[in-house]
Amino acid sequence: MPPESGRPLTALAIRNAVRAGRLTAAQACRAALDAIDVHEPRIHAYISICADRAMEAAHRLDADPARVARLPLAGVPVAIKDNLCTAGLRTTAGSRMLEAFVPPYDATAVRRLEEAGAIIVGKTNCDEFAMGASTEYSAFGPTRNPVDPSRTPGGSSGGSAATVASGALPIALGSDTGGSVRQPASFCGVVGLKPTYGRVSRYGLIAFASSLDQVGVLAGTAEDAALALQAIAGADAADATAAGRPVPDYAAALEHPVAGLRVGVPRALVADEVDEEVRDRFDRACEALRAFGLDVRDVSLPHARHAVPVYHLVASAEASANLARYDGVRYGLRAPHDGSVIGMNAATRDAGFGRELKRRIMLGTYALSAGYYEAYYARGQRVRALIRADFEAAFREVDFVALPTAPTPAFRLGERLDNPVQMYLADLFTAGPSLAGLPAISIPCGETREGLPVGLQLVGRMFDEAGLLRVAHAFETGAAGRNDGA
């Protein structure tokens, strides 16, 4: 139930109100569903909305007040990107290939959210199999940016970013392979957190590029992002890549002082191919960090300019291998065919996959093929190691690296569909941290003259999500009104 001011409640406020009995989980859920109904015709953030399922879960929670008192996300309505498996609820990955797929199990991150008391209200739209930067490659139509519906919300987690930005609910899960949480967060003016590779289990996340994929969080505030990460992080016997490291108290870390922390800015990287207004808001954000007592200094990331081509080599190669399972035999779509196995495979993949997916599969297959593996994929992995080494060297001098999240504000729908290279450049500043497996967060740092949000990206050391959230919280609470683009 929204407050009288009309401003959406945060996850923390909903949790506290439900625990105190001032609000029921059913009221919070109904308010979110009503808000989705209002916004959905304009922005199309969802592939599936599960109103009956959500209300039943909310009523069950309200019937057990003793349990409510223990739950960190009691009654908080959340949305889930449609490439995370949800038991009994359709999971399409934005593709015709999985249009009718209903998983028999929950992704670990989904299960943990529900165990924490969150109420799932729907599955959000995304680029097909999470391959895209605008949510225009969804087989179910594009999502529109709630700030300006003529523009993209970013991608591939555009639906999750858009529903949070609309104010319908405070938290949504996304996935981030090369920027798919952070870039839409920047375009929509919300917080987007990509954890360290291995901090959150990938079990139940439909695979794109297995060495890069990571479940992430879209939220209205850093505090809400901390609550969500607390719920989903940690070891998982079902995922060998999930790290066994202890999970810190992220909410408590928000209150630690930030003065004296060192932030590095790779000026040479930011100097080129960045929109003038984005660079201006980024510079103002760095000055705000300095005003809070952080030590802002220059650093060098000499190989970061190669991140986008390396990312698309590695990710496309892994996608080619991961998507080979969609052949019309075991699950998913089976298209009409000539009766042969080869004909079934070809017809199914042609009908089930969209144009961008086919492009990336062909690029990845070529990079892995005999005679080209060493020239492309292996060389890309060597440059990936150099990018990781650059960050390691920077972190010997600083605690965080600051970058714009995206080189431009949200671009218009359709503007880059015929120019894939321009579309790929939306990952200019997000691909590097992904290749290095590092945690990174995007936080709003102002608007352009047209009112389009701009994001500040902070990159941290491995498993220092607590530090990123602490600086993000200090920035959004202390910088209010200082970076409004005036």
Rounded Cα–Cα distance for residues 153 and 156 (Å) = 9
User: Is the alpha carbon torsion for 68, 71, 75, 81 positive or negative?
Assistant: negative
DSSP tally for the chain: helices H, then strands E? 18, 11
Rounded Cα–Cα distance for residues 183 and 179 (Å) = 6
Assess contact for 128 and 139: CB atoms under 8 A: yes
Residues of the chain with pLDDT under 70: 1-7, 479-486
User: Is the alpha carbon torsion for 341, 343, 344, 345 positive or negative?
Assistant: positive
Question: Which run of H or of E encompasses 232?
Answer: helix 222-232
Instruction: Give the model's pLDDT for residue 478.
Output: 87
Instruction: Give the model's pLDDT for residue 7.
Output: 64
3-state secondary structure of 123: strand
Q: What is the CATH number of the domain that holds 73?
A: 3.90.1300.10
Nearest to 157, CA basis, from 442, 471, 478: 442
Q: Where are the alpha helices (DSSP H) in 78-154?
A: 108-115
∠ Cα 42 484 223 (to 5°):
75
Question: What would the DSSP string read from start to end of 369-399?
Answer: STTTTIIIIIHHHHHHHHHHHHHHHHTTT-S
Q: Which class for 415: exposed (0-12), middle (13-18), buried (19 or more C-beta within 10 A)?
A: middle
Instruction: Give the model's pLDDT for residue 482.
Output: 38
Instruction: Give the model's pLDDT for residue 59.
Output: 98
Compute the half-sphere exposure of residue 264: CA atoms within 13 Å on the CB side of its CA: 21
Rounded Cα–Cα distance for residues 74 and 15 (Å) = 5
Instruction: Give the model's pLDDT for residue 272.
Output: 77
Assess contact for 194 and 176: CB atoms under 8 A: yes
Rounded Cα–Cα distance for residues 66 and 235 (Å) = 27
Instruction: Give the model's pLDDT for residue 331.
Output: 81
Assess contact for 91 and 123: CB atoms under 8 A: yes
Rounded Cα–Cα distance for residues 160 and 50 (Å) = 15
Question: Which run of H or of E encompasses 219?
Answer: strand 214-219
Structure tokens at 473: 């919280």
Rounded Cα–Cα distance for residues 146 and 350 (Å) = 33
Label residues 210-232 b or e (16+ Cβ within 10 Å = b).
Answer: ebbbbbbbbbbbbbbbbbbbbbb
Rounded Cα–Cα distance for residues 83 and 274 (Å) = 31
Rounded Cα–Cα distance for residues 165 and 145 (Å) = 8
Whether a cis peptide bond, with omega within 30° of 0, leads into 211 is no
Residue range(s) defining the domain that contains residue 229:
1-486
Rounded Cα–Cα distance for residues 387 and 450 (Å) = 35
Rounded Cα–Cα distance for residues 400 and 397 (Å) = 9
Q: Which residue shows structure tokens 């590029």?
A: 209
Active site residues: 81, 156, 180
Inter-axis angle of helices 222-232 and 465-478, nearest 10: 160
Domains of the chain: total:
1
Rg of the chain over Cα atoms, rounded to whole angstroms, equals 21
Nearest to 140, CA basis, from 117, 154, 124: 124
* CA-CA-CA-CA dihedral for 402, 408, 413, 418, to nearest 10: -100
∠ Cα 456 182 32 (to 5°):
110
- With a CB cutoff of 8 Å and minimum separation 6, the contacts of 326 are 97, 332, 333, 348, 349, 352, 353
Threshold 0.85, pTM exceeds: yes
